[in-house]
Chains A and B, each alone.
Chain A
């Protein structure tokens, strides 16, 4: 029997070119946990001509929202998002980090006002996209470990 490492999907989304090791963070962003009704395929540490090694996530019967794509761009800026409809790639696009990340990252500074019960969403300004550097709009500090601070 022929074995396929990763099978094609009929409808859904393929997130390709994820930096190796980041696939599980992508699953977290997509809230893929116990209550998933469709098939999710994860390939980790796959050889890649462009990147050396990469991760891939395939989610069947689901297309991603803009906020989810912005979150993915912040932890996997090299990723490409392919929308699959009836086994064909209907859309293919590279993710781009947004200029501002509102309500999707938590400030690492415990003394930042955005970490209190004040009625505001966290907000980060993306000052540089490659390499990615983001700064809290409130306390002005740089967020060092972006993946660890995704909300």
Chain B
């Protein structure tokens, strides 16, 4: 296991199993600080730059909350308007400037590979907060934390990923990591939005088998975790076809009648119509807690990378 101090976090693939376990345990220790029950000054005097070239609510706010809870300061921008970026500055130049103002950089960018490029030009650690349709490793870590915290582990758990498995970046990274951790995976999607072959190959390489289905009601009975993602309207040329497909993957009370008592339902949010509001009141719904988990997980990462003393 490599030390996290001063290290970039660009892709979930850069983390070993031991690295992931270290982050999850550190995140659990951060919970009392994340809810304000305890106070930490471990990153006092440290500055985090947040470079958000694309709008983001949860990721940006939870990074800001995480840094503030550890006593550090945040500077940055959200949307490139009014910055030197709007004048045509390259990402490489922006990064070289910003690294001089702060101790670590968090980057959200519309193009794939942007964080890796930023890391090449920055001597300070770079954390990828989403690069186009590519990687979003802190989202994957908070998803893993939620599964681990709620179900007690990974091995032998039945995790069902449902929705747009072709274009959804969160499900690709999550499936990759869960395969590393020995989870049983089931993929449920419309035929046109199936999991890419590269991810399926990875699961097989890890010596695991997986199930693939187009029907959620066939697999709900065995599920320990149901990870739901949005099916986007623009993926379907025919709006009627979209309504039909989206409706068949809707999670509601009827579907959950056959589910295990301790099934948890996760969603990276924002949701539209894929989970009925009635599900929010059930013991299965953990998606808002999952969103909160972004704070302790990001606190753990910042503390590990910036060398706090928590």
Contact = CB atoms under 8 A, between A and B. Distances in A.
Genuine A/B complex: yes
Interface of A: 109, 111-114, 116-120, 136-142
A62 to B, nearest CB: 35
Contact of A140 (B13, B90, B91, B114): B13
Instruction: Label chain B's interface by main secondary structure.
Output: mixed
| Nearest 3 interchain pairs by C-beta | A138-B113, A139-B112, A113-B113
Nearest to A115: B111
Contact of B133 (A111, A114, A137, A142): A111
A140 B132 contact: no
Interface of B: 11, 13, 90-92, 109-114, 116-117, 120, 131-135, 198
Instruction: Label chain A's interface by main secondary structure.
Output: loop
A111 B54 CA distance: 14
25 contacts: A109-B112, A111-B111, A111-B112, A112-B111, A112-B113, A113-B109, A113-B111, A113-B112, A113-B114, A113-B116, A117-B90, A118-B90, A118-B92, A120-B120, A138-B113, A138-B116, A139-B113, A139-B131, A139-B134, A140-B112, A140-B113, A140-B134, A140-B135, A141-B112, A142-B198
A120 B117 contact: yes
A119 B13 CA distance: 25
Given A111-B132, A111-B133, A120-B120, A136 B90 contact: no
Contacts of B90: 117-119
A64 B135 CA distance: 39
Given A109-B112, A118-B92, A138 B11 contact: no
